[in-house]
Amino acid sequence: MIEVDSDDPIVADLLASTLELVADAGGWVHPQVRLVAREGQLSVNSAADDDAPLMAIPRAALVRVDAVTWAKDPSSLRVEELPDDVGDIELSLIYVQSALHNQVERLAWISRSHPAVTELPVDVVDAMRAFVPGFRATTTTPRDALFANRCLRVDLGDGRGVQRVLVPVLDLLNHHAGGAAPQWDGQTFTIATARAEGTAECFLDYGLERDALEFAAVYGFADRSATVAHLPRVTADVPGFGRVEVETAGRRESGDFAPLTVAERNDAISISHLTLSTDPDGMHRLVVDLSEAGGWDESTAAHVLSILGAEAREQSRSLAGMCRGDSAALAVLRAAADRQAEVLSTAVSMLSRVT
């Protein structure tokens, strides 16, 4: 039987109500699941085997957050106007999910800890933009940050196109690079069990191959499971080549990456984008891609990558050094920059064995 384990009886009641509404919509959650709430942090545990079906959340239980008009309140979720086509179950879930996030003070927590929301030193913002060019380019409200973290994007066929939807229960899954990917068949979201850390906790992979600093900028937490590092705008003098620079022009609007390109520009060799990884196979593919794009042999490509990766690692370490103080948001960025440097160190070490 599904268990709700909460240190707050109100949160426990709201989670139980969520489970009932999902069931009323025709959805289900694995009977060995335990929903855990501790000091405002929510998670999903399960004793089910890895890869076993974990839950199925049907369309009727999805909350279309962009169809709701929300009050301009930075401290709580309050509904001002509902969509005309709201169903009974979605209506109930709008209020239950709002109450849940308000009870755990989610928006207040985001206001304190999310790097895209809270105030940061100017030098930290500038340093972050080398890694994430659009960092703080627009104003992000705590509510927008919450929905960016907890919603999935899907076209429900209601004429609104691709939109953000809150997927009850599934949205309680925390991220891990080894987590499961949600599946959408046009009517139902499903996900398999993935206990990526060897504990009872189940995880979701947010996808889009984001690195630790992107996770900090977009989702507001440091992803210590990150296995990739996208190189920032970086320039290095490479013996035999002269000046080599990396741009940050690889990610398309869809979120995926364009093919790697190499060109001569302004007396320098310009590389469109580079992603280093802790995965040996991934690094081998990168060496091959760069050698083909640049017309170099693989040893030369690995040498160039090693120098650029080492330079990016130092930039990551420098950013981590800037993020000192008592601010929760600075602590998130510091942890993310440290993880970025760890990934780059591992990747550079692998490259040194190729050159």
Whether 349 and 339 have beta carbons less than 8 Å apart is answered as no
- pLDDT by residue for the chain (355 residues), tens digit each? 899 999 999 999 999 999 999 999 999 999 999 999 999 999 999 999 999 999 999 999 999 999 999 999 999 999 999 999 999 999 999 999 999 999 999 999 999 999 999 999 999 999 999 999 999 999 999 999 999 999 999 999 888 899 999 999 999 999 999 999 999 999 999 999 999 999 999 999 998 889 999 999 999 999 999 999 999 999 999 888 889 999 876 777 667 788 999 998 888 999 999 999 999 999 999 999 999 999 999 999 999 999 999 999 999 999 999 999 899 999 999 999 999 999 999 999 999 876 5
Q: What is the pLDDT of residue 355?
A: 56
Beta strands 268-271 and 242-246, pairing class: parallel
Looking up tokens 């004793």, which residue turns up?
Answer: 47
Q: What is the pLDDT of residue 354?
A: 66
Q: What is the pLDDT of residue 313?
A: 97
Strand ranges in 18-132 using DSSP code E only, listed in sequence order: 28-29, 33-38, 41-46, 53-58, 63-64, 69-70, 79-81
* The dihedral sign for the CA sequence 147, 152, 158, 162: positive
Residue 82, amino acid: L
Q: Classify residue 233 as exposed, middle or buried by CB count within 10 Å of its CB (0-12, 13-18, 19+).
A: middle
Whether 55 and 75 have beta carbons less than 8 Å apart is answered as no
Q: What is the pLDDT of residue 144?
A: 95
Q: Which residues contact 92 (CB under 8 A, 6 or more apart)?
A: 17, 21
- All domains in the chain, ordered by first residue: 3-207 (3.90.1410), 228-352 (no CATH)
The upper half-sphere exposure of residue 289, i.e. CA atoms within 13 Å in the direction of its Cβ, equals 17
Q: What is the pLDDT of residue 251?
A: 74
DSSP 154-204: EE-SSSS-EEEEE-TTGGGPEEEEEEEPPEE-SSEEEEE---TTSSSB-EE
CA–CA gap between residue 124 and residue 49 (Å, rounded): 43
